[in-house]
């Protein structure tokens, strides 16, 4: 009788261990919250956008002015061969082209400095995914779902690994 009891107890114990190993551990993460915390501020992105826009606007304005001067020069040449007026216009065109070149170079340097301060999005996403994978693997999770997934109806906070991932990312 003792052998049967011991065998039954051992059978159910091994069955419980086996059943426990087959159940996947599922986790939840608020991916949007993490991405928002890691992404550059909107102010940084707006500064880059403003610099690009100022380059485009100023370039267009100067090119329009140069075109008008070139047309004026053509009109003067077509009417007469008055070289002092054309020399003056040529000087203005040359001066504007030089100014435009200097402006674009300066603004491009400024733009590159601002871009250097804005982290690369692909690099950020890669870091996030690596840390999610690290936390999931180190804690034995089989599957991690995004908390914003419309197919997830409910979950307990104990399976939410968002804070753990954020600590690893130091945010």
Prediction pTM value? 0.53
Q: What is the chain's mean pLDDT, rounded?
A: 87
Q: pLDDT, tens digit, for every residue of 36-91? A: 888 877 788 888 899 999 999 999 999 999 999 999 988 888 887 667 778 899 99
Phi-psi sector, 94: left (phi>0), alpha (psi -120 to 50), beta: alpha
Q: pLDDT, tens digit, for every residue of 116-171? A: 888 788 888 999 999 999 999 999 999 999 999 999 999 899 999 999 999 999 88
DSSP 69-92: HHHHHHHHHHH---HHHHHHHHHH
pLDDT at 8 over 90: no
């Amino acid at each position: 009788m003792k052998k049967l009891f011991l065998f039954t107890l051992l059978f159910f114990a091994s069955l419980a261990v086996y059943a426990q190993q087959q159940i996947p551990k599922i986790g939840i993460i608020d991916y949007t919250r993490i991405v928002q915390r890691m992404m550059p501020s909107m102010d940084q992105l707006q500064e880059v956008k403003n610099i690009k826009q100022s380059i485009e606007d100023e370039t267009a304005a100067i090119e329009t002015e140069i075109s008008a001067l070139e047309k004026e020069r053509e009109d003067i040449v077509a009417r007469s061969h008055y070289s002092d007026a054309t020399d003056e216009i040529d000087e203005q065109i040359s001066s504007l082209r030089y100014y435009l070149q200097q402006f674009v170079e300066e603004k491009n340097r400024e733009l590159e400095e601002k871009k250097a301060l804005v982290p690369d999005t692909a690099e950020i996403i890669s870091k996030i995914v690596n840390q999610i994978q690290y936390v999931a693997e180190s804690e034995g999770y089989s599957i991690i779902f995004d908390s914003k997934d419309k197919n997830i109806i409910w979950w307990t906070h104990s399976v939410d690994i968002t804070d753990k991932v954020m600590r690893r990312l130091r945010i």
